[in-house]
Amino acid sequence: MADLAEALRSYWTDRGPAWVEHRDRLDAMLAPVGEAAIARLHPDPGEHVLDVGCGTGTTSLELARLVGPSGRVAGVDVSAPMLDEALRRAAEAGLDNISFAVGDAGVHQFEPRHFDAAFSRMGIMFFAEPVAGFTNIRRALRPGGRLTFVCWRTPEENSWVTEPGQALAEVLGPPEPVDPDAPGPFSLASADRISLILTSAGLVDIDITPHDLPVSIGGGATEDLVRYYIDLLPGAVIPENADIHVIDRIKAALGAMVEHHRTPDGITMGAAFWLISARA
């Protein structure tokens, strides 16, 4: 598991600059479900909140505004490049009730019973050992402290990811099967698995609610949208030694997929989430 954790840290550090570059498009895509999750958490002024997998800090900044100057927000993420961007944005916003730390929230040594609440927008599906990871979060919460997070449901319910995958398969052939429970975007796709993990971690009052809504990939030129997808695809999807002709075919297939979904308001595709809440 140590090797897996190190591989995940390396991946997110290496890919961090691409996520920083595409931050605005990603934030626009995830804004509606992030807002729904924050509304469910309902942070109050003066509370101390942990933001797990905070990335470039968008949710951390919003949480810091909601808890106000008497509250505190701590963001943690394994990607140093993304946290550099988060720090820059917090300073630019003049928010001094927020801090960031590079680390894996599943093993990070938080002060015990410190936080009133913990939150995550798509940043909590990557623990190498999920039960241990959520146990670590629970220990960081005060007794009765709240946990709210949002994660993807199955790939089949998320056309924003399956359709690009199908476009790639037209060129590269079907991908190798993967372990659905391995750390990754869809590792918490099963409500039964979520419930078992959270219960095993000692959390109670678990509520798992499905949430469906279209997501906007944004507008712009087709080549910009194709680059967005290519930059954020897992590194193993497109072979490093792929020749220019293969890359051109991939771009053409992704471009056709993008244009199929173009509307006057940009590219809109289906998405499915879980909104989860629990208590320590």
Which CATH number do you get for residue 146?
Answer: 3.40.50.150
* pLDDT category of residue 1 using cuts at 50, 70 and 90: low
Place of tokens 């949710």: 59
Beta strands in 124-183 (DSSP E): 141-152
Query: The domain containing residue 199 runs over which residues?
Result: 2-155+183-215+268-279
Q: Cβ(280)–Cβ(138) under 8 Å?
A: yes
120 has which bridge partners? Answer: 149
* pLDDT category of residue 214 using cuts at 50, 70 and 90: confident
Q: Cβ(155)–Cβ(162) under 8 Å?
A: yes
Q: Are strands 141-152 and 48-52 parallel, antiparallel or unpaired?
A: unpaired
Q: By C-alpha distance, which of 88, 140, 92 is closest to 119?
A: 140
- pLDDT attached to residue 2: 54
In a domain, 118, yes or no: yes
> Is the per-residue pLDDT at 8 higher than 90?
no
Q: List all residues 6 or more positions away from 37 whose beta carbon is below 8 Å from its beta carbon.
A: 119, 121, 148, 149, 150, 275
In a domain, 56, yes or no: yes
Coil, helix or strand at residue 146: strand
In a domain, 249, yes or no: no
CA 52 to chain centre: 9
| Domain count across the chain | 1
Report the distance separating Cα 180 and Cα 188, nearest Å.
Answer: 9
Side-by-side strand order, sheet with 266-269: 215-218, 266-269, 262-263
In a domain, 175, yes or no: no
Structure tokens at 203: 């959390």
> Is the per-residue pLDDT at 173 higher than 60?
yes
Give the pLDDT mean for 148-163. 94
Report the distance separating Cα 258 and Cα 160, nearest Å.
Answer: 10
> Is the per-residue pLDDT at 207 higher than 60?
yes
- pLDDT attached to residue 174: 87
Give the pLDDT mean for 72-97. 96
Q: Percentage of the chain surpassing pLDDT 70?
A: 97
In a domain, 23, yes or no: yes
Name the pTM for this structure.
Answer: 0.93
- pLDDT attached to residue 178: 82
CA distances from 70 to 48, 97, 105, 147 (A): 9, 8, 24, 20
In a domain, 57, yes or no: yes
- pLDDT attached to residue 248: 92
Q: Cβ(59)–Cβ(34) under 8 Å?
A: yes
In a domain, 241, yes or no: no
- pLDDT attached to residue 41: 97
CA distances from 23 to 16, 140, 200, 225, 232 (A): 10, 29, 34, 13, 11
- pLDDT attached to residue 123: 94
Mean pLDDT across the chain: 92
Amino acid at 171: V
* pLDDT category of residue 239 using cuts at 50, 70 and 90: confident
In a domain, 87, yes or no: yes
Q: Cβ(165)–Cβ(177) under 8 Å?
A: no
Least reliable range by pLDDT among 41-45, 151-155, 166-170: 166-170
Give the pLDDT mean for 209-234. 88
- pLDDT attached to residue 44: 97
Q: Percentage of the chain surpassing pLDDT 90?
A: 72
Q: Cβ(160)–Cβ(154) under 8 Å?
A: no
> Is the per-residue pLDDT at 4 higher than 70?
no
Amino acid at 139: R
- pLDDT attached to residue 241: 80
Report the distance separating Cα 131 and Cα 200, nearest Å.
Answer: 6
Least reliable range by pLDDT among 8-22, 28-42, 139-153, 247-261: 8-22
Q: Cβ(16)–Cβ(202) under 8 Å?
A: no
- pLDDT attached to residue 265: 84
